[in-house]
Amino acid sequence: MRQIILDTETTGLEPKQGHRIIEVGCVELINRRLTGNNFHYYLNPQREIDEGAVEVHGLTTEFLADKPLYEEIAEELFNYLESAEVVIHNAAFDVGFINHEYRLMGSSHGDMGTWCEITDSLHMARKMFPGQRNSLDALCKRYEIDNSQRTLHGALLDAEILADVYLMMTGGQKSLFEEEHSTAAAFKPKAFDVNRPSLPVIKANDYELKDHFQRIEAIKKASGGECVWESVSQPAK
């Protein structure tokens, strides 16, 4: 399963007023694991940036003057996103801008929803936590995800943070014993060849270790700090 976590920064709030995308950042997940195959560009919008937008992301016209135009990276972005599930926080905003950019080019690709599956993590969060704040910062606080580097918005940084949030939101079972009764009846032990070759030991990478420890901390918090593994002594080495 290939998923892309996407975020953009823009010159303003409304593409109908001529505002443009000035940064696009994506991270790739394959089977819920970060691959490092990221997509990131700053873009020259060929127009001024609203002061309010600069206060949010810190990107200026001067910084973007020598950056590529959207049309120069459009096909690369299309190929990167095509047929993937694309996860976006407040998807209507980013998708509206991306569709606008392709229309400006006269592209034949059509609206984004016709060539990839779009998942709105904000919509998911509102269903999971009705009546609560569900901004990216609020979700980081809820799931105890470190976003201390997020002094300003940035498309790639926000996509990386959203990937952590999304993995926590979709972590599967709500308790350690949720699936016990549903799977026990279907389980049948299988014999294996005792002469089979040794299995390779694949060590967790940094991303996997980070996800693991965040999940452990979330379980520990949900259990009130009463975790069985903390009461079991470590085996002697």
Nearest to 57 by CA among 123, 119, 13: 13
- Domains within the chain, CATH numbers bracketed: 2-169 (3.30.420.10)
Interval 161-184 mean pLDDT: 66
The mean pLDDT value of the chain amounts to 87
| 3-state DSSP assignment of residue 86 | strand
pLDDT tier, 175 (very low <50, low <70, confident <90, very high otherwise): very low
pLDDT score of 2 more than 80: yes
pLDDT score of 185 more than 60: no
* CB-based contact 100:72 (threshold 8 Å): no
* CB-based contact 156:123 (threshold 8 Å): no
- pLDDT, greater one: 26 or 186: 26
* CB-based contact 50:15 (threshold 8 Å): no
pLDDT score of 9 more than 80: yes
pLDDT score of 174 more than 50: no
pLDDT tens, position by position, 40-97:
999 999 999 999 999 999 999 999 999 999 999 999 999 999 999 999 999 999 999 9
pLDDT score of 122 more than 80: yes
- Residues 186-198: b if buried by 16+ CB within 10 A, e if exposed: eeeeeeeeeeeee
Distance CA(157)–CA(26), nearest Å, equals 9
pLDDT tier, 172 (very low <50, low <70, confident <90, very high otherwise): very low
Q: Which of 19, 57, 100, 153 is catalytic?
A: 153
Max distance between CA atoms of the chain, in angstroms, equals 69
Lowest mean pLDDT among 90-99, 134-143, 202-211, 217-226: 217-226
pLDDT of amino acid 232: 62
pLDDT of amino acid 215: 80
Greatest mean pLDDT among 7-21, 135-149, 159-173, 223-237: 7-21
pLDDT of amino acid 201: 79
pLDDT score of 184 more than 50: no
pLDDT score of 213 more than 60: yes
pLDDT of amino acid 105: 95
pTM over 0.75: no
pLDDT of amino acid 140: 94
To the query of whether residue 153 is one of the catalytic residues in this protein, the response is: yes
